[in-house]
Amino acid sequence: MIKEIDNNQETLTNYKVQYSKRLENQMFHIPNGMELVIIALLILVLFGGKKIPEFAKGLGYGIKNFKNALNEHDETNKTEEVKTTILKVDEKIRDC
């Protein structure tokens, strides 16, 4: 009798886990082809044909500037590292 109750509780727990996973998949899913078409049409209607290329251009410009800023930051760090290394080597040479 106790084994049956334990098995029933375990089965119930498994069902709860499976149900919650199913709900998760239904709530947050990637739109399929038809949903993407509907979203694209809504964007076209809301913003119009002229605003979309301007938006895309601005987005591309922003991404380009972001990448350039990251590269500049990396180059600045490398330059500073080289300068500190040169100073350390210079101090060691002077100490000798």
What does the pLDDT look like over 1-36, one tens digit per residue?
455 555 566 666 766 666 666 655 566 677 788 988
**pLDDT score at 94:** 74
∠ Cα 42 39 21 (to 5°) = 145
Determine if residue 48 is left, alpha or beta; phi over 0 gives left, psi from -120 to 50 gives alpha, anything else beta. left
Q: Model-level pTM greater than 0.85?
A: no
Q: What is the C-alpha separation between 37 and 48, in angstroms, rounded?
A: 16
**pLDDT score at 68:** 87
Q: Which residue has the higher pLDDT, 26 or 67?
A: 67
Side chain identity, residue 38: I
Query: What does the DSSP assignment read for 26-54?
Result: HHS----HHHHHHHHHHHHHHHHHHHHHH
- Span 34-53, mean pLDDT? 87
Contact 23, 15 (CB under 8 A): no
**What's 1's DSSP letter?**
-
Question: Which of 29, 31, 11 has the alpha carbon at shortest distance from 19?
Answer: 11
Q: Which residue has the higher pLDDT, 25 or 63?
A: 63
**pLDDT score at 96:** 65
Task: State what percent of residues in the chain have pLDDT above 90.
Answer: 4
